[in-house]
Amino acid sequence: GGSEHIAAAAKDMEEQESDVMEMNKQVMAEKEAQITSLEGKMSDLKRVLMAYQRFTSLCVTMDRKASAPGGVSKLSCTAINHVHKKAVKFSLKMNVDVEDNLDMDATFRPVANKELLPPFLQQEATLETKQCPLLLLSILKTLFDEKKNGAGKD
C-alpha cells in the first residue's frame, strides 16, 4: 500500500537529488575551468601591457569613474624618460570600445610638466584618433631630446 508508495517516492527524490548534485559538480568544474582560462588570459594581457609600457615609455590607466562602457573613456597617461628621470602627464578622452575608431575625435589635455611637451601640446587639443601615433611620437621626441637633456655637451 501506502508505505511502499512513499518509499518509492523517497527513492525517486534521492535519485533526483543525486542527479542535481552531479550536475552542480559539472557546472562548478566548467566554471573553474573558465576562471582558470580567464586568469591565464589576464596574465598574458598584463605581460603584453608591461611590454608595451617598456617599449613606448608610456603608462596608461583608465579612469573608471569618468569612463562609460561603449562610450568615451578617460585615459590618464604618463610618458617617462627613465634615463633623465623626466616625465609628462596628460589625459586622453576617446572611445576605446569601437574597433574602427580612426575617424573619431580624441581630446588631449596636458596635466603635469607641460613645459616638457612640444609647444602645440602645452594646451588642450582635439585630434582624430588616427593622429594618436604622431601625438605619441611628438611627446617622446621632445621628452627624449638629447640636446635638451644635456647629452653630448661634454
Buried b (16+ CB within 10 A) or exposed e, 105-121: ebebebeeebebbeeeb
Confidence band, pLDDT 50/70/90 cuts, at residue 152? very low
Residue 96 pLDDT > 80: no
pLDDT tens, position by position, 141-151:
988 887 765 54
Residue 24 has a pLDDT of 92
pLDDT tens, position by position, 53-69:
888 888 888 887 776 66
pTM: 0.67
Confidence band, pLDDT 50/70/90 cuts, at residue 101? low
Residue among 145, 104, 147, 110 nearest 125 (CA)? 110
pLDDT tens, position by position, 3-15:
888 989 889 889 9
Cell of 48: 603584453
